[in-house]
């Protein structure tokens, strides 16, 4: 592990996100260039905001199926009742009022790539939006296992909102000697430390509520903890010893929501009090119609986030697959989506000006993971564009290369990090939505 401390990493992470030079604004023209953005999360909202901030004479329409965005960041603290849903509910009003973004509530249903149009289903019927550039940031969709999975009975809560409230209510109903079972999907998935964080805060909740004998069973489809292994290993085996039971290599084979039962390659659990099944993941539906890689995500050019077939169709955030050095993949996170959005916005504006994309670019991702209701761990990773390497250290192409990374050691999980978590989250909320 890198020995830089938490604040050094976060300072670097904040600075490195803005390394691309601000492009020249697009000049006045008879018809203003049109950018349509699908998805109002940290990727799409940031993209819409920054194209308007940097682009000048550019029309931006943001399409989202919901009237606001509910953040996955901090949502595990809503599950435990530490925060309210309003704390993580982010509106689009400021994007409209402060930046001139047109917000359309509706669901993107079809792309006519040769014709440069997007069809959106709204309450008043289908609308066809022409675009010069289309940016897709729809987040993730699920690839559930066999069986009878009903998320209204056994929630995933991996798309924040009603699912978060459902899981919160199910957790609150737990009593002593009952079992909370959750799964960790096969990587890559949204927010690598998120499932382990959830296991910790649920265990902490059960202890604080004196649910004697209650257990948290973690069934991980991966060979081991995928993020912050030192901090979470200590949390599982020391901080929450006797409450958390962790099982790696537990590929989900089938789920039965009616009995809250799950069969995995490692073990079977029947009649759990709470079954928090988080399925494997792929690109969001509207992006999944584009060519996908073997893991179900859309390959993109990291200089523009454009797709190979249609360079004016861009995919950012959780749905995209960015070429990176083996074993050092670009994580899927809200912070990374925010970072990617700025690179993409810059490239789009440069294209309107007839300029090539900037090749001096960098992206970053930092996050905090609460371990208890008073202490948190942290991690950070930073990437630059350049040579990427195979497992033997040989150059195999261009892409994003991880240049540094750090995470909290077990003795760095503390109250200062817990407080810093809210500062970081509020900065993310403001940068994307205000």
- Using CA atoms, how far residue 206 sits from 164, 172, 178, 215, in Å, is 17, 9, 10, 8
* Sequence-ordered list of residues with C-beta below 8 angstroms from that of 72, at least 6 positions apart, any chain: 158, 159, 160, 190, 191, 194, 334
What is the rounded CA–CA span in Å between residue 298 and residue 418?
34
Q: What is the pLDDT of residue 137?
A: 98
Residues 64-74: pLDDT tens digits? 999 999 999 99
Least confident of 136-150, 315-329, 371-385: 315-329
* pLDDT of 24 higher than 90: no
* pLDDT of 10 higher than 70: no
How many C-beta atoms surround the C-beta of residue 416 within 10 A?
13
CATH 3.50.50.60 boundaries in the chain? 22-139+284-359+428-432, 143-280
Question: 216 near 246, Cβ under 8 Å?
Answer: no
Helix H or strand E encompassing 6: helix 6-16
Q: What percent of the chain has pLDDT over 90?
A: 89
Model confidence, pTM: 0.94
- Report the pLDDT averaged over residues 318-333: 90
First to last CA, the chain: 35
Q: What class, spelled out in words, does domain 143-280 have in CATH?
A: alpha beta
Q: What is the pLDDT of residue 177?
A: 98
Residues 364-391: pLDDT tens digits? 999 999 999 999 999 999 999 999 888 8
What is the rounded CA–CA span in Å between residue 111 and residue 88?
31
Any idea what the Cα angle at residue 73 is, between residues 305 and 181, rounded to 5°? 110
Smallest Cα–Cα separation from 189: which of 230, 140, 255? 140
Q: What class, spelled out in words, does domain 22-139+284-359+428-432 have in CATH?
A: alpha beta
- Report the pLDDT averaged over residues 128-138: 98
Residues 263-281: pLDDT tens digits? 999 999 999 999 999 999 9
- Report the pLDDT averaged over residues 144-153: 98
How many C-beta atoms surround the C-beta of residue 50 within 10 A?
24
What is the rounded CA–CA span in Å between residue 90 and residue 431?
12
* Sequence-ordered list of residues with C-beta below 8 angstroms from that of 326, at least 6 positions apart, any chain: 389, 390, 391
Sign of CA dihedral 361, 327, 199, 154: positive
Sign of CA dihedral 113, 114, 120, 121: negative
Q: HSE of 213 in the Cβ direction (CA atoms, 13 Å)?
A: 5
Average pLDDT of the chain, as a whole number: 94
* Sequence-ordered list of residues with C-beta below 8 angstroms from that of 195, at least 6 positions apart, any chain: 182, 183, 184, 185, 218, 220, 278
Q: What percent of the chain has pLDDT over 70?
A: 94
Q: What is the pLDDT of residue 406?
A: 93
What is the rounded CA–CA span in Å between residue 375 and residue 417?
7
- Report the pLDDT averaged over residues 133-146: 98
Task: pLDDT band for 9, please (50, 70, 90 cuts).
Answer: very low
* pLDDT of 12 higher than 90: no
Residues 156-200: pLDDT tens digits? 999 999 999 999 999 999 999 999 999 999 999 999 999 999 999
Q: What is the pLDDT of residue 28?
A: 62
Q: What is the pLDDT of residue 121?
A: 98
Residues 205-252: pLDDT tens digits? 999 999 999 999 999 999 999 999 999 999 999 999 999 999 999 999
Q: 3-state DSSP call for residue 295?
A: coil
Listed in sequence order, the DSSP H helices in 17-131 are 42-55, 75-79, 93-99
* pLDDT of 90 higher than 70: yes
Q: What is the pLDDT of residue 275?
A: 98
């Amino acid at each position: 592990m890198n020995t830089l401390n938490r604040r050094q990493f976060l300072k670097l992470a904040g600075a490195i996100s803005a390394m691309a030079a601000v492009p020249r604004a697009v000049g006045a023209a008879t018809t203003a260039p049109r950018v349509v953005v699908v998805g109002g999360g940290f990727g799409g909202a940031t993209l819409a905001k920054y194209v308007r901030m940097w682009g000048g004479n550019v029309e931006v329409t943001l399409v989202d199926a919901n009237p606001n965005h509910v953040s996955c960041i901090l949502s595990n603290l809503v599950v435990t009742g530490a925060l309210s849903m309003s704390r993580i509910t982010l509106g689009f009003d400021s994007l409209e009022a402060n930046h001139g973004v047109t917000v359309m509530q509706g669901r993107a249903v079809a792309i006519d790539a040769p014709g440069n149009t997007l069809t959106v289903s709204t309450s008043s019927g289908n609308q066809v939006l022409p675009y010069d550039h289309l940016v897709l940031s729809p987040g993730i969709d699920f690839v559930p296992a066999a069986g009878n999975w009903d998320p209204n009975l056994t929630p995933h809560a991996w798309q924040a909102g009603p699912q978060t409230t459902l899981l919160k209510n199910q957790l609150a109903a737990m009593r002593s000697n009952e079992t909370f079972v959750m799964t960790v999907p096969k990587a890559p998935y949204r927010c690598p430390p998120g499932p382990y964080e959830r296991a910790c805060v649920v265990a902490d909740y059960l202890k604080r509520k004196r649910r004697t004998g209650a257990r948290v069973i973690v069934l991980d489809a991966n060979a081991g903890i995928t993020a912050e292994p030192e901090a979470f290993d200590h949390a599982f085996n020391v901080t929450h010893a006797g409450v958390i039971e962790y099982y790696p290599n537990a590929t989900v084979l089938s789920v039965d929501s009616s009995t809250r039962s799950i069969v995995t390659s490692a073990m079977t659990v029947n009649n759990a009090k709470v079954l928090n099944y988080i399925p494997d993941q792929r690109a969001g539906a509207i992006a999944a119609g584009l060519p996908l890689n073997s893991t179900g995500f859309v390959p993109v050019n990291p200089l523009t986030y454009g797709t190979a077939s249609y360079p004016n169709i861009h995919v950012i955030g959780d749905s995209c697959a960015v070429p990176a050095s083996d074993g050092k993949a670009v994580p899927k996170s809200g912070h990374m989506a925010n970072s990617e959005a700025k690179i993409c916005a810059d490239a789009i504006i440069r294209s309107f000006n007839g300029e090539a994309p900037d090749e001096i670019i960098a992206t970053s991702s930092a996050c905090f993971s609460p371990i208890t209701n008073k202490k948190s761990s942290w991690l950070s990773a930073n990437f630059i564009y350049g040579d990427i390497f195979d497992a033997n250290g040989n150059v195999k192409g261009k892409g994003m290369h991880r240049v540094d990374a750090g995470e909290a050691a077990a003795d760095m999980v503390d109250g200062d990090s817990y407080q810093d978590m809210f500062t970081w989250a509020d900065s993310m909320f403001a940068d994307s939505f205000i």
